[in-house]
Structure 1
Amino acid sequence: MTMRDAVGRALVELGEEDPDMVVVTADVARSTRTSWFGEKFPERFVNVGIGEQDLVDFAAGLALAGKRPWAAAFAMFMMRAWEQIRNTIDRMRLNVKLLATHSGFSDHSDGSSHQSLEDVALMRVLHNMVVVVPADALEAYKAVRALHWDVNGPAYLRVGRDYSPVITEPETPFRIGNANILRDGDDLAIVGCGPILYQALRAADILEKKIGVKPAVIDMHTIKPIDRHTIVKYAQKTGFIVTVEEHYTRGGLGGAVAEVLAEEYPTRILMIGARGYGHSARSIEDLYRAHCLVAECIAKRIEEALRGVKN
């Protein structure tokens, strides 16, 4: 199951549980899998057409009327409605959940116009917004349910398209704001979010086999509110934090972690993320290679940093 399949399944289940739930889309129902909800609950499903500003304002109106709306669009084009998100959802703290699919490099074939590498920064800066970036399909499913029932306010759920290697387990806990430790270690801590964590785990294995260091790997699925306790704990434990993300480090996970360290426990940090705009490619893995986000390249950059080589 892909991340968007998992989200579609979770939305249908929530529709059965919550009669006040409404799903709204901007003409991308099939691509976002919200069409599954529409087929089962047509009276609670609205397609506003290609107009993300209308999508957000319509969802805001539903929330003001007491409904629990989910608004779905491609991540890159959801950003067209940032002003509406800021003024009609976040400023009034409305209970609207924004489902942003095809994020990061996942829309690999459509080029840089469709690849969203700035959205976490734009959402994280909003005062009331919760920002969640699940690592795989299992976590995406849990995230939908947690956001719907546990967060009474605005939230942004960032998922990819099809690439989502499974790295968590059905029994892996999921709580908003609580990071999960995927691999423990004492020498450094790799903090990541989203499907790129698969590459981070492989990079940790490479480092252990090649130079004998034991990296911890942390799934920071909630970017806001971020798990400050876990960040500080591993900064104190290892003295070296590495962030890995399918996004620019400026304002993204790297920036968020650096803010915590600067305020609470200044620690050496290496931030690894997108190096610029993407381009059309045959696969997401091709784009990962182009931006040094595959396991071998991540491991090489960490090894160089450990040896004191400037990155």
Structure 2
Amino acid sequence: MRDKYRRPDLSQSGAARLRTSAMIASIADAQDETRQAPFGEALVKLAAERPEVVGMTADLAKYTDLHVFAKAYPDRFYQMGMAEQLLMGAAAGLAREGFIPFATTYAVFASRRAYDFIAMAIAEENLNVKIACALPGLTTGYGPSHQATEDLAIFRGMPNLTIIDPCDALEIEQAVPAMADHAGPVYMRLLRGKVPVVLDRYDYRFEIGRAKRLVDGSDVLFISSGLMTMRVLKAAERLATDRISAAVLHVPTIKPLDEATIVAEAGKPGRLVVVAENHSIVGGLGEAVAGVLMRNGIAARFRQIALPDAFLDAGALPTLHDRYGLSVDAVMTTVKAWL
């Protein structure tokens, strides 16, 4: 079955005709330190210690970095073909037998196609299935068919489901064993390929359910998750040259949210609170944080940097990130206009 459903390797002879602007899919800047396939490498390391760990995918091993695991543990790798609902149902069955399945696909396919199977077969039964999904938000130029701009909004309302949006390669490496140790289903937005390393300079350690302040500042508080933490950290450094002092609170766990830390940071007077996320402005981290602040009586100046409530264009990622406000330059321009 694995060979039958494996996509042809177009990296050599077919590469030339596929080099369109939409193929530019790296989130790393030229000067960034990166690590290759941090999810796959971390899962291989975990599997050496945990024989119950298995890897599963719906025809996307190469494109979710699960091919690294498949090569190391072929007898613990399951290629389910182009059948995301089958993938989730089979993962539930393996979890019932005591395994810890890591199921990978694209975020759009898990959230749109397989939602009911995740809800009924996995989440309702609180099974130990870990779902890691590539191409979250605006991390591909292929347009609405592949851009999971609403996955957090779709999954936040699902009971029992823990949701993680890691920032960089280091956090992915730390999140994988934490997911395995966590009892119950987990959905992780996955950055794949060459992933930047950012958090090593902040003495960072990932913990499910915990937000971490990375830098402090008196004028702006960025509350961010995923790749936008990379962007706001760079923006904060550059804003400092304009004598604008910015703090960064990284929130890698979207659910359960670290409400106490968010309230403590946003409750400090005199700062503009800006939630920055690689997700639609509807239903993601921004609205979750806004709800927390309202329920706790925090009357902060509040703004959101997020994707619009729209189907996005196809094209090269740098162009799209500028167009939709996710680039460092766009973040700086937006924040300066708000101050």
Superposition TM-score, scaled by structure 2 size: 0.85
Structure 2 distance, partners of 1:67, 1:253, is 31
Secondary structure in 2 aligned to 1:261?
Answer: helix
The residue number in structure 2 matching 1:167 is 198
Task: Report matched runs for 1:77-96 at 5 Å.
Answer: 77-79=109-111, 80-96=113-129
Q: Which moved more, 1:187-196 or 1:161-170?
A: 161-170
- State the 1:268 CA deviation: 2.3
The residue number in structure 2 matching 1:297 is 330
The residue number in structure 2 matching 1:280 is 314
The residue number in structure 1 matching 2:56 is 24
Is the counterpart of residue 213 in structure 1 residue 247 in structure 2?
A: no
Secondary structure in 2 aligned to 1:246?
Answer: strand
Unmatched 5+ stretches in structure 2:
1-32
- State the 1:279 CA deviation: 2.4
Task: Report matched runs for 1:241-252 at 5 Å.
Answer: 241-252=273-284
Q: Deviations over 1:199-257 (max 9, x none)?
A: 212222333322x2311011111111111111111111144311011101211110111
The residue number in structure 2 matching 1:176 is 208
Root-mean-square deviation over aligned CA pairs: 1.7
The residue number in structure 1 matching 2:46 is 14
Are the structure 2 counterparts of residues 156 and 83 from structure 1 closer, same or farther at C-alpha, using a change threshold of 3 Å? same
- State the 1:41 CA deviation: 1.7
The residue number in structure 1 matching 2:25 is none
The residue number in structure 1 matching 2:4 is none
Structure 2 residue identity aligned to 1:274: L
Structure 1 distance, partners of 2:66, 2:91, is 15
The residue number in structure 1 matching 2:14 is none
Q: Deviations over 1:250-309 (max 9, x none)?
A: 111101111111111332210110123322222x22211010111222122222222xxx
Superposition TM-score, scaled by structure 1 size: 0.92
Q: Deviations over 1:152-206 (max 9, x none)?
A: 0010010234474322018421111111222111222101111122221222233
Are the structure 2 counterparts of residues 3 and 103 from structure 1 closer, same or farther at C-alpha, using a change threshold of 3 Å? farther
The residue number in structure 2 matching 1:122 is 154
- State the 1:45 CA deviation: 1.1
Q: How many residues align?
A: 302
The residue number in structure 2 matching 1:236 is 267
Are the structure 2 counterparts of residues 163 and 189 from structure 1 closer, same or farther at C-alpha, using a change threshold of 3 Å? farther
Contact 1:106/1:161 (8 A) holds in 2: no
Structure 1 distance, partners of 2:179, 2:88, is 17
Secondary structure in 1 aligned to 2:332?
Answer: helix
Structure 1 residue identity aligned to 2:262: I
The residue number in structure 1 matching 2:168 is 136
The residue number in structure 2 matching 1:197 is 229
Structure 2 distance, partners of 1:152, 1:4, is 28
Identity among equivalent pairs (%): 35
Contact 1:99/1:157 (8 A) holds in 2: yes
Secondary structure in 1 aligned to 2:104?
Answer: strand
